[in-house]
Structure 1
Amino acid sequence: MTLVRNTRSAPARWTLGDDPFSAIDRLFQDLGGSVGNRDDANYPMDLFENDDELVIELAVPGVRADDLDISVEGRQLTIRASLPAIPEDEQRRYWLQAIPRGALTRTVRLPANVDVDGVQASVHDGMLTLRMAKVAEAKVRKIEIKNS
């Protein structure tokens, strides 16, 4: 009988801190899709401010102004869009399907209070632009109590 020394290292151990499904998720994301619900990161967004206003630019290719619903409540802005569905075609066999379809909901916490009555929204060449005038923060005022 011949003994052969095993030179392979021990198998890697899975620890509770590791997510065993993250590698699969990364694989699908690298292929242009996502597992489960569509990731709203498919719609890139910029949020910036200047002295007077907050501005959001959101890429919404193929979306018309009529397909958008935008609401502001306090410092929470919600953008909803309905994207056209793909017509069913038995001749179509996808190798890659990365164009987002269906409903989009994007909620953002704004970094400042805004004038909700003065929000301006426009869509041009697949880019939604929101301009929101900032309002002054409510000031704290100490109330003096008089003795009666």
Structure 2
Amino acid sequence: MTLVKFNNGLKNNAVGPFFNDVFDSILNDSYFGNKLVARVPAVNIAETENEFHIELAVPGLRKEDFKINLDKNVLTVSSEKKEESVEEGKKISKREYNYSSFGRSFTLPESADHSKIEADYTDGVLKLIVAKKEEAKFQSREIAVK
């Protein structure tokens, strides 16, 4: 098998190409590449007339992996997942364990109804719906000019 290095556009400097090769191989190693990536899911927050919508992108998990807590007006979503790959009957030269976790907290406004929070996990997206209190819902009316 032949290993071909591509020129990434960097000019040869006084240090030489040796250091570029060393640092490229260290920084592009799968161990560092997989372990140093931020493991905080992206989130979308929207508000409608009657509720707040919080969506977290968390693919690869199951609904049993999530822990959702409400403490006063702080809603916390967290998850821990441990994976271990072991092949029996072979001499193991490398074994990788995978552990990932995250935690996101959201401060709910005073208009949120803490007793009406729903969660649904479908297709890698965790959707939280927080209802608004009746008095906080938008009320439209016409105001007469005197």
TM bucket (normalised to shorter chain) is 0.5 to 0.7
* Unaligned residue ranges in structure 2 (runs of 5+): 1-26, 137-146
Trace 1:110-125 onto structure 2 (pairs within 5 A).
110-125=108-123
* Distance in 2 between residues matched to 1:55 and 1:91, nearest whole Å: 47
Trace 1:1-148 onto structure 2 (pairs within 5 A).
34=36, 39-41=38-40, 43-87=41-85, 90=92, 101-135=99-133, 136=135
Q: CA deviation at 1:105?
A: 1.4
Compute the TM-score of the two structures, normalised by the length of structure 1: 0.54
* Distance in 2 between residues matched to 1:102 and 1:33, nearest whole Å: 9
**Amino-acid identity (%):** 27
Q: CA deviation at 1:40?
A: 4.3
Q: 1:59 to 1:101 in 2, by over 3 A?
A: farther
CA RMSD of aligned residues (A): 3.2
Q: CA deviation at 1:120?
A: 0.8
Q: CA deviation at 1:58?
A: 0.4
Compute the TM-score of the two structures, normalised by the length of structure 2: 0.55
Q: CA deviation at 1:113?
A: 3.6
Deviation per residue, 1:61-88 (Å, 9 max, x gap): 1111111111122321101112242425
Whether the aligned pair in 1 keeps the contact of 2:86 and 2:95 (CA below 8 Å) is no
Q: Which AA in structure 1 matches 2:123?
A: D
* Helix, strand or coil at the partner of 1:108: strand
Q: CA deviation at 1:32?
A: 6.4
